[in-house]
Structure 1
Amino acid sequence: MRTRKFLFVSLDAALIGDVAWQVHSEGHEVRYYIEAESDREIADGFVPKTDDWRADVDWADVIVFDDIWVGSDIGTGELAQKLRERGKAVVGGTPNTDRLEADRGYAMEVLEAHGVNTIEHRVFRDFDDGIQFVQQRPAPYVIKPLGEVQNVKRLLYVGSERDGSDVVDVLGAYKKAWGHRMKGFQLQRKVEGVEIAICGFFNGEEFIDEVNFNFEHKRLFPGNIGPSTGEMGTAMFWANQNRLFRETLGRLEDWLAEEGYVGSIDLNCIVNESGIYPLEFTPRFGYPTIAIQEEGFETPTGEFFYELARGNDPELAVHHGFQIGVRIVLPPFPFDDGKTYDENSRNAAVVFGTDSRDGVHIEDAKNVDGQWRAAGESGMPLVVTGKGETMQQARRQCYDRIDDIVIPNRYYRDDIGERWTEADGDRLLAWGYLGP
């Protein structure tokens, strides 16, 4: 494939640096724009930067938006739509697909309109109304904030009490502490089963054949305990458009084609012997999901996104086995504490025990004269991946690679992928979801 020009755009947090680095490493021309001043050093030394992405639109063969957010508002979908109307090839959403993530009630309406089963749910704008609802209908519920505040991952709460009393208590606490920012929330009935996300890549007209199935690990500590984070690691595999896909994302294909959506779209679900129950959309790249998916691409990343953005069939070749990725983090992640970050993590050096960088992906990192360092403010410098024919082989490769990396004060989960081998794989197979 000949050299193409890629413009990567981060209008909130800097998230897409690793993909930009990979595409640049493949020999393409890359320019990366980061809006947030606190994040602008991220990916320095890895990819060329630009100070004015709009001035580079005409230069670019492909424009890639990394998220739905423009600061504290959704908006990249509108920008992407307008650029496509100008004839530009864009990986990005639309105003309506942005809403799938920002407005959970709307997302459920779209699913229901296309014949997808949903869990009992209700959106509230008032805390007292939500508390009264739970008291009148006692059961375990999940609290999911709406709008910009949903990015504060620790606010998502999964109830455990059968009478919903813990949910009532948490809503009361949120009213006092977050009432000024949390403009609404969804209460979703808690369902037991295997949590699995179905992720497809859409080219504006249809899904490509390869579908990614992934298992997120959001809690900070092994054993799935501790505060909720954006993500601590993910296990995954690729398969065809099976029952899990056909009964969820597959039913939205015509709707997405009408929207003209281009990119990755992920639907997280709970699955049990009774059915498939969607939880939430990610109508954009997932992080660190995309870095782990990249590791499984056997087609060059730049070639894949170039063809996808132009509405072609990229004929994506992938690793058919298992993959895992582990996020390496630094204090005070997942919390915000500038003093702790300055004392323990700012500019922390990344030291490699070998010359190999296989399976090492950057997040909040920079390269200063050949020395990798932590960058930004979030304390998420690296994601390390592994793959294999079995989940155990993928885990072994990933954690062997982590053992060769030293960052002072680092921490990570050492159990990514264990759920698959302990129970999840057998249950999904027994329930008939993993057949051809």
Structure 2
Amino acid sequence: MDTKNFLFCSLDAALIADLAWQVHREGHDVKYYIEAERDREIGDGFVPKTDDWRGNVAWADVIVFDDIWVGSEVGTGELARELREQGKAVVGGTPNTDRLEADRGYAMDVLEDHGVNTVAHHVFHDFDAGIRHVQANPAPYVIKPLGEVQNVKRLLYVGNENDGSDVVDVLRAYEKAWGHRMTGFQLQRKVEGVEVAICGFFDGERFVDRINFNFEHKKLFPGNIGPSTGEMGTSMFWAGRNRLFEETLGKLAGWLADEGYVGSIDINCIVNDTGIYPLEFTPRFGYPTIALQQESVESSTAEFFYDLAHGNAPEVEVHDGYQVAVRVVLPPFPFDDPTTYDENSRNAAVVFETERPEGIHIEDAKKVDGQWRVAGDNGMPIVVTGTGETMQQARKQCYDRLDDIVIPNMYYRDDIGERWIDGDGDRLHAWGYLGP
């Protein structure tokens, strides 16, 4: 493919620096815009920047939005739709696909309208009404906040008590601490099984043939304990349009085509021997999922996204085995404490013992005079990846690469991928979800 112009836009937090860096390394012209002032140094030294994304729209052959948020409001889907109407090729959503993430009740309605099985769920905008529902229908529930605070990952609560008493206690606490910001919440019946996300890339008319299946590790500590984070790591593999896909995303292909959606869309599910139960959508790139997907794509990343944005039914060559990604973080992640961050993490050096490190992807990082350093305020400088013919081999390569990295005070989970080895893979095969 000839050299193309790619404009990457972060209209809230800076998330897409690594994809921009990959496209830039493949020889294409890149400009990266970051709206949030506190994040603007992220990607410095890795990718060219711009301070006026709208002024570069005419220049761009492809425009890529990294999230659904414009500051504190949902809005990139509206921008993407406007740009498409102007004839621009855009990787991004639509107002309705943005709503899949921002409005969980709407997301469940879309699934049900297209014949997808869902977990029993109710949306509430009043804490007392939610508490009365749990007391009248005792069971374990998951609390999922709606609106702006849904991005505060530690507020997601998974109940454990059969009578729902812990959920009632948490709702009462949330009303006192977060009632002024939590405009509503969804109560979802807790379902036991294997948690798996089905991820497809859609080109405005159809899904790309290769489907990605990934396993998120959201808790801070090994063993899946501690506070919820955005994500601490991911394991995955690519496959064809198996039962998991056909009974979930596959049923939405016509709706996505009507919307004109372009990009990655992910639906997280609980799967057991009785069925597939969707939990939530990610109608955008996942992080650090996209870094691991890049690592496993063996053809041109830039060409893939160019064809995706132009509706060219892109073909992609992917690694045929398994992949693992581990997010490396620094204090006080996942909490906000500027003093702790300034004392322990700001501008910290990222040191590699190997001269040419492989499988390293940037998140909150910059390069100054050739030295990698921590950037921004979030404490998530890099993601380390590994691939292998088995999950064990992918884990070994990833953690061997981690052993060659030195960042003062860094920490990470050392069990990414173990769930697959310990039985999740066997269960999915036994239940018949991974066949052709």
TM-score using structure 2 length: 1.00
Give the aligned partner of residue 165 of structure 1. 165
Deviation track 1:309-352 (CA, whole Å, cap 9, x = no partner) reads 00011111100100000000000000000000000000010000
Counterpart residue number, 2:121:
121
Identity of aligned residues (%): 79
Output aligned runs, 1:254-273, within 5 Å. Answer: 254-273=254-273
Superposed, 1:6-405 pairs within 5 Å as: 6-405=6-405
Distance 1:324 1:349 in 2: 24
The one-letter code of the counterpart of 2:30 is: V
Specify the code of the residue in structure 2 equivalent to 1:38.
R
Q: Counterparts of 2:199 and 2:19 in 1: how far apart (Å)?
A: 17
User: What is the DSSP-based 3-state SS (H/G/I as helix, E as strand, rest coil) of the residue aligned with 1:186?
Assistant: strand
- Equivalent-residue separation in structure 1 for 2:328 and 2:349 (angstroms): 13
Which secondary structure does the structure 1 equivalent of 2:258 belong to? Answer: helix
Shift of 1:62: 0.1
Structure 2 unaligned blocks of 5 or more: none
Counterpart CA distance in 2 for 1:19 and 1:159 is 36
Give runs of aligned pairs for residues 401-420 of structure 1, distance below 5 A.
Answer: 401-420=401-420
Name the CA distance, whole Å, in 1 between partners of 2:407 and 2:260: 43
CA offset digits 1:387-408 (Å, max 9, x no partner):
0000000000000000000000
Q: Distance in 1 between matches of 2:257 and 2:299?
A: 24
Deviation string, structure 1 residues 87-109 (Cα, Å, up to 9, x no partner): 00000000000000000000000
User: What amino acid sits opposite 1:310 in the alignment?
Assistant: H
Q: 1:230 aligns to what SS in structure 2?
A: strand
- Tell me, in whole angstroms, the C-alpha distance in 2 between the residues paired with 1:107 and 1:193: 21
Per the alignment, in what secondary structure is the counterpart of residue 208 of structure 1?
A: coil
What is aligned with 1:432?
432
Deviations 1:64-87 (A, max 9, x none): 000000011100000000000000
- Counterpart CA distance in 2 for 1:213 and 1:332 is 31
The one-letter code sitting in structure 2 at the alignment partner of 1:335 is F
Task: Return the letter of the residue paired with 2:229.
Answer: T
In structure 1, C-alpha distance between the alignment counterparts of 2:18 and 2:222, rounded to whole Å:
26
**Is the partner of 1:46 in helix, strand or coil?**
coil
Q: How far is 1:266 from its partner?
A: 0.1
C-alpha distance in 1 between matches for 2:168 and 2:369: 53
Give the secondary-structure state (helix, strand or coil) at the position aligned to 2:19. helix
Rounded to whole Å, the distance in 1 between the matches of 2:222 and 2:358 is 25
CA distance in structure 2 between the aligned counterparts of 1:103 and 1:434, rounded to whole angstroms? 30
Matches of 2:2 and 2:357 in 1, distance apart? 25
How many aligned residue pairs are there? 436
> 1:15-40: per-residue Cα shift (whole Å, max 9, x none)?
00000000000000000000000000
Greater Cα offset, 350-359 or 202-211 = 350-359
Q: Could you give the per-residue CA deviations for residues 156-203 of structure 1, whole angstroms, max 9, x where no partner exists?
A: 000000000000000000000000100000000000000000000000
Give the Cα–Cα distance (whole angstroms) in 1 for the partners of residues 257 and 148 of structure 2: 27
Instruction: Give the SS at the match of 1:43.
Output: coil
Q: How many Å separate the matches in 2 of 1:320 and 1:354?
A: 27
Give the AA of the match of 1:60.
Answer: A
TM-aligned CA deviation for residue 357 of structure 1: 2.5
Task: Indicate the residue corresponding to 1:422 in structure 2.
Answer: 422
SS at match of 2:396: helix
CA distance in 1, matches of 2:138, 2:197: 28
* Aligned AA (1:232): M
The Cα of 1:148 is off from its aligned counterpart by 1.3
Name the amino acid aligned to 1:305.
F
Letter in 2 for 1:289: T
Q: CA deviation at 1:279?
A: 0.1
Stretches of 4+ aligned residues off by more than 2 angstroms: none
Q: Secondary structure of the equivalent of 1:167?
A: helix
Query: 1:435, CA displacement in angstroms?
Result: 1.0
The SS at the match of 1:234 is: strand
